[in-house]
Structure 1
Amino acid sequence: MVDANCKFVIIDVGWYGKEGDAGIYMKSKLGELVKNGTIFPPPKTLPHSGILLPYVVVGDDAFSLSEHMMKPYSRAQMLVDEKKRTFNYYLSKAKRTSENAFGILCAIFRIFFTPIHLKPETIDSVIVVSCCFHNMLRDNYLSRNPSNKERISNLEDLPTQNLIDLAGTGGYAKAEGFQVGSQFTDYFSTHRHMPAE
């Protein structure tokens, strides 16, 4: 899980790649924390509106929709409904943040561009340490670069633990997810405008 400043908030290392992101997520502690909503602050009113919505995680099609997990509408839905297309646009922009975090991590720790010739348990440690160093470097960069200071709300509000350990559980889609997604869809189409392509 990555925050708006491209920092890793929670990581889970050591699963087999063949399981896929959604399968790993459903079995992980993170999946359970998101499903229960215990990882998030209380719901908040969206800017310039009276809409009170819970905090959410952004995922792709592989993930199950829930109150705290948003995923894009299907291509068929998006093509017939402008509001859903707008929602997918903003969801895609949010997803780009996590992709950027991985890009920054790999650009700094170039070991991830090549096959790593180490024992699996050592590779797990390399990944965890790299994520911790990445977060420290991001803190340093954001605190020193004046153009990025507005992205940091308050350094005292940042978590005191760098990463949270995870372990296995599971979960499925919920009706509340459709309701929350619909409210975000209405909000984005009424309060924001997509730039021309």
Structure 2
Amino acid sequence: MPTPTEETWRKNELGYRNDMKYPNCVGTIDGKHVYLKCPPNSGTAFYCYKKRFSLILLGVVDPNYMFTVIDVGGYGKDSDNTIFENSTFYREYILGKEILPPKPLPGFNDPMPHVLLGDEGFAVEKYIMRPYDKRSAMRNEDMKTYNSYHNRARRISENAFGILVQKWRIFHTPIDCEINTACSLVKSACCLHNFLRSKNIVTQSECHTFDTSTISLSAVTPLGPNIRRSNTEAFRIREQFKTYFNVT
């Protein structure tokens, strides 16, 4: 899996802008528990809230359902933000940096950061947008409109994980081997997933009609919901995205 360059992120942004109508998005991010047999001498490090043993696969996905970046091996016991902020991806691309320079949304003048799109497992930050909570969106049409654009783009990552699990049967049951070997197996599966996607062995039409709810992802489940508070600037950025989607 090659190290992403500025050109990689620009291609991602162009794809999400053209295909999903979400500008300034450079990827969708998701984290999944990959279930394990109880690792020896691991204590509770890999014991997750599902009362099972797991390691974390964190992935940033491009608009073609390919993994741009993965981070494998986070402890199942850790929260979503702990896993993300301890990841190599966070240190190399997010911490004190910008993936791409800010630019205005189409038809607007104020520069806006480039962001990743996540689900409720992530806090709202300058570099990550999450949907408005469902109760608020039910009472507010502008929030509901934003959520529809956000969730349509974010499902790219859900579908990518669904394709990964469907293709590689090792994910259908808890993995029974040493932690380092399990991490290598997960990384290999992600690289092979990208290889097959790049060779167009899975067609775009198959991906757009793919429904992860129809598959039993017995060894891959989402991270838990996030309860961490977000900062005011992050909420302001999301409000600007909301305004854009409601006037275009």
* TM-score in same-fold range (> 0.5): yes
- After TM superposition, the score normalised by the length of structure 2 is 0.60
Give the match for residue 242 of structure 2: 185
Runs of 4+ more than 4 Å apart: 48-51, 144-148
One-letter identity of the residue aligned with 1:174: N
SS in 2 for 1:36: coil
2:96 to 36, 43, 54: 36
- After TM superposition, the score normalised by the length of structure 1 is 0.74
CA contact (8 A) 1:35 1:68 kept: no
SS in 1 for 2:72: coil
One-letter identity of the residue aligned with 1:77: S
Deviations 1:148-188, CA, capped at 9 Å, x for gaps: 9xxxxxxxxxxxxxxxxxxxxxx973322112101110111
Is 1:9 the counterpart of 2:65? The answer is: no
2:145 to 86, 108, 129: 86
Structure 1 vs Structure 2: percent identity of aligned residues? Answer: 37
Matches within 5 A, 1:84-163: 84-141=143-200
CA contact (8 A) 1:37 1:68 kept: no
2:118 to 59, 65, 72: 59
Give the match for residue 163 of structure 1: none
Higher relative contact order (CA 8 A, sep 6+): 1
CA contact (8 A) 1:77 1:84 kept: yes
Structure 1 residue 138: Cα displacement = 1.1
Give the match for residue 153 of structure 1: none
CA contact (8 A) 1:34 1:69 kept: no
Change in Cα spacing, 1:172 to 1:42, as seen in structure 2 (3 Å) is farther
Distance in 1, Cα, partners of 2:138 & 2:232: 23
Distance in 1, Cα, partners of 2:148 & 2:192: 32
Quick check: which one's helix share is greater? 1
Structure 1 gap ranges (5+): 149-170, 192-197
Give the match for residue 71 of structure 1: 130
Structure 1 residue 50: Cα displacement = 4.5
Quick check: which one's strand share is greater? 2
Structure 2 gap ranges (5+): 1-59, 207-227
